């Protein structure tokens, strides 16, 4: 029996069971099967992500794709809360570390999409890598470089055309509240 089979399986009712090794000892968490609406929502999100990858591979701007996909960190946590239901509350009460709770959310997501075999693959990988999101954010924050040979100057070096910012100081004396008000 593989490590994944020992930690991720379906019970007799068709619910997902994930065994976590916690400081207090191993604990089983049972994730109830999701509703038809939640399952459909998960599949739509996956279709959007697949389309986003296709667009990225075709050379579209990652920033535009990220804006269209629009799954922020908060939305991702909401997704896991929705998928896990009462199990999320149980993990919170047990003070399960955030990373382990997110791993269970990723396992549940894979379970909805690909069944127990998909859930086990996520267990084996230790979760879905977040490198792409981190790379996109780092790229977004990095200053944009001007290509050499830029049309702004014949030599390729960009000339500084930055205008001074206008002062934000008020030219009027601020009105002070009166002692009687």
What is the rounded distance in angstroms from the CA atom of residue 48 to the CA atom of residue 52? 6
Residue 160 confidence (pLDDT): 39
Q: Using the predicted structure, report yes or no on whether residue 84 has a pLDDT greater than 80.
A: yes
Mean pLDDT of the chain: 76
pLDDT at 80 over 70: yes
Percent of the chain with pLDDT over 90: 44
pLDDT of amino acid 169:
39
- Sorted by sequence, the CB contacts under 8 Å of residue 86 that are 6+ apart come out as 32
Beta strands in the chain (DSSP E): 8-10, 16-22, 25-31
Burial of 114 (0-12, 13-18, 19+ CB in 10 A): middle
pLDDT for position 141:
55
Of these ranges, 117-121, 142-146, 170-174, the one predicted with the greatest mean pLDDT is 117-121
Number of neighbours of residue 60 by Cβ within 10 angstroms? 13
Partners of residue 84 on adjacent β-strands? none
Q: What is the pLDDT of residue 56?
A: 86
Q: Is the pLDDT of residue 28 over 70?
A: yes
Cα 53 to Cα 68: distance, rounded to the nearest angstrom: 12
Q: Could you tell me the residue ranges of all domains in the chain?
A: 3-141
**Nearest-angstrom CA–CA distance, 84 and 93:** 14
């Amino acid at each position: 029996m593989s490590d994944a089979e020992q930690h991720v399986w379906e019970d007799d009712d068709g619910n997902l069971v994930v065994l976590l090794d916690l400081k207090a000892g191993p604990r089983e968490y049972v994730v109830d099967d999701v509703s038809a609406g939640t399952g459909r929502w998960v599949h739509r999100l996956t279709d959007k992500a697949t389309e986003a990858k296709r667009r990225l591979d075709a050379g579209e701007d990652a920033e535009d794709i990220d804006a269209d996909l629009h799954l922020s960190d908060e939305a991702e946590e909401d997704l896991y809360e929705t998928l896990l239901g009462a199990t999320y509350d149980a993990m919170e009460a047990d003070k399960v570390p955030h990373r382990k709770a997110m791993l269970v959310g990723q396992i549940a997501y894979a379970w909805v999409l690909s069944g127990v075999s998909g859930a086990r693959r996520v267990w084996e990988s230790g979760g879905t890598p977040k490198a792409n999101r981190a790379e996109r954010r780092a790229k977004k924050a990095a200053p944009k470089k001007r290509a050499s040979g830029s049309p702004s100057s014949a030599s390729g070096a960009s000339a500084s055309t930055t205008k001074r910012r206008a002062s934000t100081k008020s030219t009027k004396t601020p009105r002070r509240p009166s002692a009687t008000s």
